[in-house]
C-alpha cells in the first residue's frame, strides 16, 4: 500500500460517518483535529463542498450567487 493510500484510509477511518452529510473526502477536508500528525497531509477535496455539508459542520455559507 502506498503512503498516500495509507494516509487516506487512516483519515477516512478516523473521521468519516456515513450517517451525516458529505462524502468521506468532504468530511476529511473539514476535519478540525489540527493537532493530528496527519492534519497537514490529509486528503483535500478539490471540488466545492455543498452548502448543506458546510452548514452541518457549523461553517457559514454566505456566498454571493
Do residues 43 and 8 lie in contact, with contact meaning Cβ atoms separated by under 8 Å? Answer: yes
Neighbours of 42 (CB within 10 A): 19
Nearest alpha carbon to residue 6 among 47, 45, 43: 43
pLDDT value at position 28? 98
Residue 65 has pLDDT above 60, yes or no: no
pLDDT reported for residue 61: 73
Confidence at residue 50, expressed as pLDDT on a 0 to 100 scale: 92
Residues 18-63 have pLDDT tens digits of 999 999 999 999 999 999 999 999 999 999 999 999 999 888 876 6
CB atoms under 10 Å from CB of 53, counted, come to 19
Residue 26 contacts residue 59 (beta carbons within 8 Å): no
Amino acid at each position: 500500500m502506498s503512503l498516500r493510500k495509507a494516509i487516506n484510509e487512516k483519515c477516512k477511518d478516523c473521521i468519516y460517518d456515513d450517517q451525516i452529510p458529505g462524502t468521506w473526502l468532504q468530511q476529511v477536508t473539514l476535519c478540525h483535529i489540527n493537532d493530528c500528525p496527519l492534519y497537514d497531509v490529509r486528503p483535500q477535496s478539490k471540488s466545492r463542498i455543498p452548502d448543506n455539508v458546510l452548514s452541518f459542520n457549523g461553517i457559514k455559507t454566505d456566498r454571493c450567487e
